[in-house]
Amino acid sequence: MDVRIIPKKLAGTVAPPSSKSIAHRAILAAALAQGTSVIRKVTFSQDIQATLRCVAELGCDWEQPEPDTLQVRGLWGREWNPAGLSLFDCGESGSTLRFVIPIALALLGGGRFTGRGRLMERPQQPYLDLFRKKGILWEQQASVLTIRGELEPGEYPLPGDVSSQFVTGLLYALPLLEGDSRMEMTSPLQSRGYVEMTLETLRAFGIQVENQGYKRFLVPGGQLFASRDTAIEGDWSQGGFWYAAKALGNPVTIQGLREDSPQGDRVVAEHFSLLCQPGDTEIDLTDCPDLLPPLAVMAAGRQGTTRFAGAARLRLKESDRLVTVHAMLAALGCRAEEGPDSLTVTGGPLTGGVVDGANDHRIVMAAAIAATACGGPVTITGAQAVEKSYPAFWQDYKKLGGEVHVL
């Protein structure tokens, strides 16, 4: 789906969708629990649907009694003996893939994993190196990854600078083992906010992990996940796009975001305040890489030059986001310069133009927000990519007064 946006100011109140990151974690914890959990305020994006497919493949039952509610019957104590290795369709969700791999090893002795888009090209080296040393089969042919073996308690050295998703996957799997385990970070842990989100969710479902300064994690074995009734808080990452709208002069009020949230992307509020001031500045994205698209839009509309550093991991997302954010800004008439791990944006008037959505939900949403400050219409290709994380984005955009035409 391609869309054409006629530039107009947005105005009104908007509530971002519920946190996709927290929902992934809550669904997996509920699936591993003893008893039935109720999870409310769930946004059924494509990524969340991928996680639901995978927990069903693990042997868990779930149903949707209301449009935004899940009822999950945990698989603890139930026998599940699939014929052969189960096939886990992870869609385009990196979180789903990396979270489920060690869980499937712990429960089923492995599985076959597939996905779409760039998912199966995204790096899995931390798991590959770790599991091969432990005698676990790891074989990828085309778009299917096969893993087979036994996950045993013990030492788990893991780099912290590739993706925190590997840390989360093991933190969910290791409590299921009979003995105790220790995960040691072999390099500084980045995106700590995502790991804190994991630890908070695990605590809520009855799992204890000793966090020793984010350098090592001590995980007792033989733990039981407890079922619970919970609600998913608003998503700061998606809220970042509405902060970008505010920075461009749109009188938008944002509701439903928890100020004391464990989500690392809550720093978007601080960056918004900084970018509303003129002058040259620099922002380190090491712990909040997903914020680059909305922050780059804020930078494009301000007076001064903004350098975004610590952004190398953005090359490994749904698109190479250093390339695609740069291309989006250039298409709209903004000056930007891409470095190996940085993007420098010089603010100025935006002209409008044609933006390649790059099958990346965050590029599409960023371009739509930037359109509100453009001098001419903006065409965005592949605008359906928002379904990955924010299915109601276009609906919310129009409610705020945006003019969108499907081509």
For residue 179, the tally of other CB atoms under 10 A from its CB is 12
Task: Using DSSP, state whether 75 is helix, strand or coil.
Answer: coil
Strands 342-346 and 335-339, by their bridges, are antiparallel
Q: One of 265, 290, 360, 396 is an active-site residue; which one?
A: 290
State mean pLDDT over 96-125: 93
For residue 173, the tally of other CB atoms under 10 A from its CB is 23
Buried b (16+ CB within 10 A) or exposed e, 254-282: beebeeebbbbbbbbeebbeebeeeeebe
**pTM score:** 0.93
| H or E element that contains 37 | strand 36-40
Query: What is the structure's pLDDT at 121?
Result: 87
Query: What is the structure's pLDDT at 142?
Result: 84
Separation CA 70–CA 226 (nearest Å): 16
Separation CA 211–CA 359 (nearest Å): 37
Structural domains for the chain: 3-17+234-406 (3.65.10.10), 20-231 (3.65.10.10)
State mean pLDDT over 78-103: 88
pLDDT grade for 285, boundaries at 50, 70 and 90: very high
State mean pLDDT over 101-125: 93
- Average pLDDT score, the chain: 95
313 has pLDDT over 90: no
State mean pLDDT over 198-219: 97
81 has pLDDT over 80: no
Q: What angle do CA 304, 305, 307 make, to 5 degrees?
A: 150
Question: CA nearest 94: which of 271, 299, 316?
Answer: 316
pLDDT digits (tens, 9 = 90+) for 162-200: 889 999 999 999 999 999 999 999 999 988 999 999 999
Query: What is the structure's pLDDT at 76?
Result: 82
316 has pLDDT over 90: no
78 has pLDDT over 70: no
Question: CA nearest 4: which of 407, 322, 323?
Answer: 407
pLDDT digits (tens, 9 = 90+) for 35-72: 999 999 999 999 999 999 999 999 999 999 999 999 99
**Residue 284 is among the residues annotated as catalytic for this protein:** no
pLDDT digits (tens, 9 = 90+) for 137-156: 999 988 999 999 999 999 99
Cα distances (angstroms) measured from residue 141 to each of 154, 198, 318, 389, 394: 29, 31, 20, 28, 37
> 309 versus 316: which is more confidently predicted?
309
